[in-house]
């Protein structure tokens, strides 16, 4: 039996019924084999990041407990995205564009992984208030390897445009 690991997943959507997509993705994550959602943040309305001429996002974070390895967990997350109509191949040219659902593996225990298609901790996590604010809500003492406590990082950010729904 594999060891249980806590992983943090960022969820976001800004096309279609974004609230339903994020809520549905939380249920789908909880239904994954050998995985359970142990905590989920409130939903937040956040301004678009990177490419700002698009609708605001609905974002959330979930803390999972899983025995799945990081690659298998990521593959399952990508399948959930596809189930909600996301085609990553189709939006590759528009990296920060609008999407029906976006699931990011933010942290996988205290692992540092740098493989093709899988980088943990998420390489821009420490720069993104839309991911950190919900994450700190459910795990205020969580540490981002190489950057420190997430709550300390978010405390130094401008977060005034991020609102709980």
Q: Which residues of 21-51 are buried (b: 16+ CB within 10 A; e: fewer)?
A: bbbbbbebbeebeebebeebbebbbbebbee
List the catalytic residue out of 99, 110, 114, 141: 99
Tell me whether residue 86 is one of the annotated catalytic residues.
yes
**Cβ pair 26, 79 in contact under 8 A:** no
Active site residue 99: yes
* Alpha helices, DSSP H, located in 13-102: 18-30, 70-83
- Indicate which residue of 102, 128, 149, 152 is catalytic: 102
Active-site pick, 42, 75, 86, 149: 86
Q: Check 34, 82, 104, 149 and give the catalytic one.
A: 104
Positions marked catalytic = 86, 99, 102, 104
């Amino acid at each position: 039996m594999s060891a249980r690991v806590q992983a943090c997943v960022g969820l976001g959507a800004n096309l279609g019924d974004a609230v339903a997509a994020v809520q549905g993705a939380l249920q789908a994550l909880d239904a994954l084999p050998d995985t359970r959602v142990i905590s989920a943040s409130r939903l937040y309305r956040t301004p678009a990041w990177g490419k700002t001429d698009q609708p605001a996002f609905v974002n959330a974070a979930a803390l999972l407990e899983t025995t799945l390895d990081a690659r298998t967990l990521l593959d399952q997350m990508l399948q959930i995205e596809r189930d909600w109509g996301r085609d990553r191949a189709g939006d590759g040219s528009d990296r920060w564009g609008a999407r029906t659902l976006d699931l990011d593996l933010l942290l996988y225990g205290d692992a540092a992984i740098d493989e093709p298609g899988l980088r943990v901790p998420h390489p821009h996590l420490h720069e993104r208030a839309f991911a950190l604010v919900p994450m700190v809500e459910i795990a205020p003492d969580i540490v981002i390897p190489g950057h420190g406590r997430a709550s300390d990082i978010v405390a130094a950010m401008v977060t005034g445009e991020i609102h709980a729904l």
